[in-house]
Amino acid sequence: MSAIDRLFADLRSQGRKALMPFVTAGDPDLAFTADVLRELASRGCPLCELGIPYSDPIADGPVIQASYTRALDRHVKLAGIFETIGRLTREIHMPVVSMVSYAIIFRHGPQAYIRDARAAGFAGAIVPDLPLDESEELAEICRGEDFSLIQLVTPTTPRERAVRIARSSSGFLYYVSVAGITGERRELPPELLDNVAWLKTQTDLPICIGFGISRPEHVHSIAPVADGVIVGSAFVRRLVEADCRPRSEVLREIGDFAEVLLAALDG
């Protein structure tokens, strides 16, 4: 079992759901990224998604795109990210999953990327621009390393293809709540709960819902069908202030926001 398999098995045995914050690696710098992950772990977040900055991200809205740009402008490199996470995962017991473009994996070498990411302490990878029909090589490498390859199902994915995506995924399945790009929204689609409920009849994988989720009421409304909830832009937006305010205050606000979402998830 991978670290993510073990985590969700433990959560299910306790009747709990997972809050998964998204944080951009290196925004504003890798030292603060490590501080944020420590804060999130200390507040009870069971796992975290770490975005690997990329110049041409797919499906990311303006908040996360701007965050990637800031990190790249400060010359954040993959080697530095691996080094930072390698130190951090010896301190905290919270699986970290990378959100990474396949272009980065391909350039590094698929076998080498999974080996190096796992050695650094990453528990899995979400690769949003890797089509199902081209994913078998990477999926096989991940299976050999007990490393989770998390794939995405969207509202427009045909049901037969959604089942195939679930069969080729490991760790958990990422259900995209809305068609389009990431970003905070006022409301989630009314058909979301039914779509996820159907998908749960087709797979034993945990299903985590992301995109557009930014408020406690969102989290509370989808908790009945979700095994986990992914919140990105709402966290990343708060990180912007780390360059102009005391970082201790920003960390506290991020932690407080995580606690509010956790309470909504368990409530």
129 belongs to the catalytic site: no
Catalytic, out of 60, 133, 194, 259: 60
49, 116, 145, 256: the catalytic one is 49
Active site residue 241: no
Strand ranges for the chain from DSSP E: 18-24, 48-51, 96-99, 122-126, 148-150, 152-153, 173-176, 207-210, 228-231
> What one-character-per-residue DSSP string does 218-248 give?
HHHHHTTT-SEEEE-HHHHHHHGGGGTS-HH
Q: Is the dihedral of CA 2, 90, 238, 11 positive or negative?
A: positive
- Name the token pair of 28: 């504003």
Residue pair 154/179 in contact (Cβ under 8 Å)? The answer is yes
Query: Buried b vs exposed e over 166-201: b needs ≥16 C-beta within 10 Å?
Result: beebbbbbbbbbbeebbbbbeebeeebbebbeebbe
Q: How far apart are CA 151 and CA 126, in angstroms?
A: 6
Residue 219, Ramachandran bin (φ over 0: left; ψ between -120 and 50: alpha; else beta):
alpha
From the list 147, 151, 148, the residue with the least C-alpha distance to 135 is 151
Residues annotated as catalytic (active site), given as ranges: 49, 60
